[in-house]
Every structure is written in C-alpha cells, then in structure tokens.
Amino acid sequence: MKQLLSFKLAVIGILLILSAGCKSTAPLAFSGLTWSKCESYRQIMDKDSTYRITFGDGIWPEPMILISSADSIAKYPGMDKFLKGILHDVNLEGSEILFYAPEMQTMFVSTGNKIPKDKPSSVSYCLDDENPYTMWIYDEDVEDWTLKPKTAMNTYTYYDKRKKQLLIVDYYDYGTTPVAEIIILQSNTKSRDKMNIPNSYVNVFYKHDLGKMEDDIEFWSHQVDAHRGRAFDNYRLGQELKTEAK
C-alpha cells in the first residue's frame, strides 16, 4: 500500500514538473517605448512616432494606463503572470510587448512573422480597400495559414471558461512590422483585484460572468464586434506612417 502511494505521489510530481515546464519562466519582453495620448486624433503614439494606435470611439480614461516596460508593470501585483498566461495561451510566448492598455482591454505585440499553423476563425482580405471583406473558416478548409498575404488579417479566438476569459487575436502588418492586436475580455476575479489597478469609469475587468456567456450574449457580442473595425483602422494608420517614411 505504501509503495502504491509512493508511486502515485511520484507520478503526480512528474506531471507537475512537466506542466510547469510548458510555460516559459523567462521575463516578459517589453519594447520600452514611451507612449503618450493624442486627444485631438484619439490615438496614442510612441515618442518617435513609429506607431499611432487607435482604440475606437469609446470612452477614454484619464489618465490612461500604458504598460510598456518592466518598471511600469511592477506597480501592479500579478499582472506579469496574467500577461504571461495570455501570451502562452495564444502561442506568442517570448514576443515583444509594444504596450498593454488594461483599461482598453488591449495588448499589442510584435510577432516577428510568427503566425499560428492552426486554422484561424476568420480571414479578412484587401485591407487597403475602403471596405475589406471577411471570410469565415470551416473545418474542411485546407490551407497553409502561415502564408498570410501582406494585405490580409488572420483572426484567432481563445475561450477559457475556467479562467472566464475570451481572447481575440488579430494578426496583420502594421506598416512593415508584423503585429498581433490582442483583445482581452476578462471577467473580474479575486486574482484580478489583487493587481490594484485604480478604479475608473472604464472597466478593466467585467462584472459580467464569461463563465456564463450565454446569460449575457448581447453584451459579449457587442464587445467582440468592435475588434475588427479597430484593427482595420490601425492597419491603415500603419500604412500611412509607412508612406510618410518614404
């Protein structure tokens, strides 16, 4: 009996070690860019104007939290673990974080041309056109999804009922830089409260329960619906900056 118990404990220990090894222990990689708000254009931009990013027409907090360095994230206990978990779940571990704006539920990452081999949930084409079009991807569709055209956008979604989290990841080229725009829809939990993000009139984490998405389907569909138009706008801003740089 003791031998059986020892064997079970040994197996559990091995499984824990293996599961811990699945996630990177390396620190988050940050761009170190300095960001500021441009109220007149409703955009944020970095100090060198390499990037201009819009969050759409929603309410903007004042001040807005913009995380882009190890020093800035250190103010919020547990946020580094939270972001590491997200990058792990979307297969972007080790990628450089350009910024994380918690109140805007958005993280921008420089991907270095890293695109998942898995099927996306949708692909949007002709982003240079006034009205790009989107095609939904089905199980029977077969293609090399890593060969994304320069004027296309692959979108992936990741839903974790246990974490009460829905992630929407748009892959596109911002100017000449391949990026992932990650929309983080997260219900509030005790671990999120521990981050001590200052309260404002903009929700960082939602009171609505993503574990029971079907109870608030209209609310969540509204949050999801906004991501594509925002990504299109940011793609165009990147193209404008690329043209100005010539």
Residue-range domain boundaries for the chain: 30-245
19 SS3 class: helix
pLDDT at 23: 55
Residue carrying structure tokens 């990689």: 29
Tokens for 228, please give them: 């594509």
Distance CA 170, CA 181 (A): 5
Distance CA 163, CA 174 (A): 30
Tokens for 149, please give them: 């055209």
Distance CA 206, CA 186 (A): 6
Distance CA 14, CA 238 (A): 47
pLDDT at 201: 62
pLDDT at 8: 52
DSSP string, 121-166: SEEEE-TTSSS-EEEE--TT----TT---TT-EEEEEEEETTTTEE
Q: Are 150 and 156 in contact (CB under 8 A)?
A: no
Q: Are 148 and 80 in contact (CB under 8 A)?
A: no
Distance CA 37, CA 44 (A): 4
pLDDT at 171: 96
pLDDT at 66: 94
Tokens for 224, please give them: 């999801």
Q: Which residues contact 243 (CB under 8 A, 6 or more apart)?
A: none
Distance CA 109, CA 61 (A): 22
Q: Which H/E stretch holds residue 46?
A: strand 43-46
pLDDT tens for the chain, residues 1 to 246: 555 555 555 545 555 444 444 555 788 999 999 999 887 788 999 998 899 999 988 778 888 899 999 999 999 999 999 999 999 999 999 999 999 999 999 999 999 878 888 899 999 999 999 999 999 999 888 888 877 888 999 999 999 999 999 999 999 999 999 999 999 999 888 888 888 888 766 678 888 889 888 888 998 898 888 899 999 999 999 999 988 877
Q: How many CB atoms lie within 10 A of CB 245?
A: 10
pLDDT at 192: 82
Distance CA 75, CA 78 (A): 9
